[in-house]
Amino acid sequence: MQQPVVLIGEWLVTPSINQISRQGRQLTLEPRLIDLLVYFAHHPDEVLSRDELIDNVWTRNVVTSHVVTQSISELRKSLKDGDDSSPEYIVTVPKRGYKLTATVIWCSEEGVELTSTPPTPVLPLPEAPPPGAALPAAAYAPAAEAPGQKPEKRKRIATFWVWCLFLLALGTCVALVALSTISSHPPVTKTRLLLNPRDIDIRLMNGNSCNNWASQRSYAVGLGSLITTSLNTFSTFMVHDKTNYNINEPSSSGKTLTIEFVNQRHYRAQQCFMSVQLVDNADGSVMLDKRYFITNDNQLSIQNDLMNSLSESLTQPWPERMQAMLKQFQPLQSMSLSHFYEAHQLLMNGDVDSLGKASSILDGIIKQSPEFTYAWAEKALVDVLRHSQQPLDDKQLADLYAEVNRVSEMPGIKATSVFYQIKTIDLLGKGNVNGAYDAINTGIDLEMSWLNYVLLGKVHEMKGENRLAADAYITAFNLRPGENTLYWIENGVFQTSVTRVVPYLDNFLSSE
């Protein structure tokens, strides 16, 4: 069956090829914008809230409200098509949502449906008078006639014109469907994936041509984690950190950021260069190509240069709140940053031995760079996690809470997600599930990260909401797929049965 097309105002929308057209002008939109426009067409002249649009258009994908706002803005721009005088198709209803105000006509093989045309009202017949009552004089008077016309003739003319209008509308829809079929591309098989230009994969390639690439791996993993969290939180891009998931499989992401350690032949083997390349998968063009020679003194400047280069390549200015967050990853000593990323990778591993090593490294960073407040917060997080897996004695527990209290008083820490991660884990350990739920949702508002969604899943499990826990775990794995995230889902804070709580993820991994 031919997929229906819809006429919205002057635009003919053909969902099967992601196109809108009018007066010979054709525009190809992103699939998500087409889905959004079609959903509006199913609810003409209705006020749709952001939450309703997220639930029905961005199903099973985690987005923030500013993503909806950005998508609405892009859709309005496309519908105007450079004509500022054209009417607004989608209007904003303050504090409620958005509404499609244009006329909607659905066209299919079966015919036409005019969703915006009200039905013709049927006039009621006059009531019969009671028996014996005198009829009013008007009842005996013949209906007024136009000169030279009889009622039967006028009825036949009206019927003729009604049928003409119906056949004209039906013919228009058939012609529109035929034109969309002729101009459409050949159907693709279900095994092919349509690229999403707003999705980015980050991959880390092994440095087989270098001798010392393994010692710099944690730095590259840390950069990938920083880029992922920053873009997911503060931009309209959806980034998937696949540095722990180097599986050769098709991807629907429109762009790929590859980090690789390479060695040029005219350099000595121990001199590795970190190559960072951003490729647009739609046409294979290279959007960013950088090479960095990493030393103990330039790791902070490399991080700043890479983030600025990404901002230019993606045409994505960093908002002030993101710039404030990036400053927290800028210790005075560049070497402290490398050690921090080494500890952060151990935190990602999640097991007891890795957490112990991470705590020791972070303790050394604090002594070396006491101004590096984020290192203090990360150490408190690691130690709270260690306590959740291996309970401490009274003295150790008192030292831990003193550490947490000291961190909470540091400037700017309460505006970071890591503070609410610490709070969530501590409250779960005390059995305060509602408090933990409020804390982790505040953390998610501040930062969209895989760890936040793992902790959200743990809170939902404690509340007995396994379906919501499964959604949170799948979101976490979508943001950072790999064995690290799976270990956290199964063992973080308390043990989780993947086969019982989120069987989809278990089946997905077993089919690899």
Asked, colleague to colleague, whether 5-114 and 195-327 share their fold, the answer is: no
pTM of the model: 0.64
**What is 195-327's CATH topology?**
Rossmann fold (3.40.50)
Token pair for 317: 């200015």
Q: How big is the CA angle at 449 (ends 274 and 62), to the nearest 5 degrees?
A: 120
Chain centroid to CA 370: 36
Phi first, then psi: give them for residue 267, nearest 5 degrees: -110, 160
Token pair for 330: 């800028």
Q: What is the CATH number of domain 5-114?
A: 1.10.10.10
Q: What's the confidence (pLDDT) of residue 263?
A: 75
Three-state SS for 451?
Answer: helix
Three-state SS for 9?
Answer: coil
Q: Residue 142: CA atoms inside 13 Å, Cβ hemisphere, count?
A: 5
DSSP assignment of 225-278 equals HHHHHHHHHHSS-EEEE-TT--------EEEEEEEEEE--TTS-TT--EEEEEE
Token pair for 271: 């001199």
Q: What's the confidence (pLDDT) of residue 512?
A: 54
| CA 492, 495, 496, 497 torsion-angle sign | positive
Q: What's the confidence (pLDDT) of residue 175?
A: 66
Residue with tokens 């006028």: 154
Element (H, E) at 348: helix 334-349
d(CA 135, CA 448): 78
Write the burial class of residue 403 (CB in 10 Å: 0-12 exposed, 13-18 middle, 19+ buried): middle
Please enumerate in sequence order all residues whose Cβ is within 8 A of that of 371, keeping only pairs 6 or more positions apart, or say none: 331, 332
Residue with tokens 């923030």: 64
Q: What's the confidence (pLDDT) of residue 112?
A: 46
d(CA 222, CA 175): 56
What distances in angstroms separate CA 446 from CA 119, 416, 495, one per listed residue? 50, 7, 27
d(CA 443, CA 420): 5
Q: What's the confidence (pLDDT) of residue 11?
A: 86
Please enumerate in sequence order all residues whose Cβ is within 8 A of that of 348, keeping only pairs 6 or more positions apart, or say none: 221, 225, 244, 484
Q: Do the Cβ atoms of 31 and 194 come closer than 8 Å?
A: yes
DSSP letter at 453? H
Q: What's the confidence (pLDDT) of residue 136?
A: 47
Q: What is the pLDDT of residues 451-507, one digit of tens each?
A: 999 999 999 999 999 999 999 999 999 999 999 999 999 999 999 999 999 998 888
CB neighbour burial string for 115-126, b if at least 16 within 10 angstroms, e if fewer = eeeeeeeeeeee
Please enumerate in sequence order all residues whose Cβ is within 8 A of that of 205, keeping only pairs 6 or more positions apart, or say none: 246, 258, 259, 260, 261
DSSP assignment of 35-51 equals HHHHHHHHSTT-EE-HH
279: β partners: 256, 286
Q: Do the Cβ atoms of 509 and 249 come closer than 8 Å?
A: no
Domain spans of the chain? 5-114, 195-327
Provide the residue count of the chain: 512
274: β partners: 261, 292
Write the burial class of residue 444 (CB in 10 Å: 0-12 exposed, 13-18 middle, 19+ buried): buried
Segment-wise mean pLDDT, segments of 10 residues, the chain, 512 residues: 75 86 82 87 89 79 70 84 79 86 74 43 44 44 47 67 70 63 46 82 79 79 94 92 84 92 62 88 93 88 94 91 83 87 92 92 93 92 87 83 90 90 92 95 94 96 94 94 94 92 87 57
Q: How many helices (H) and strands (E) does the chain have?
A: 19, 14
Phi first, then psi: give them for residue 431, nearest 5 degrees: 85, 10
Chain centroid to CA 162: 48
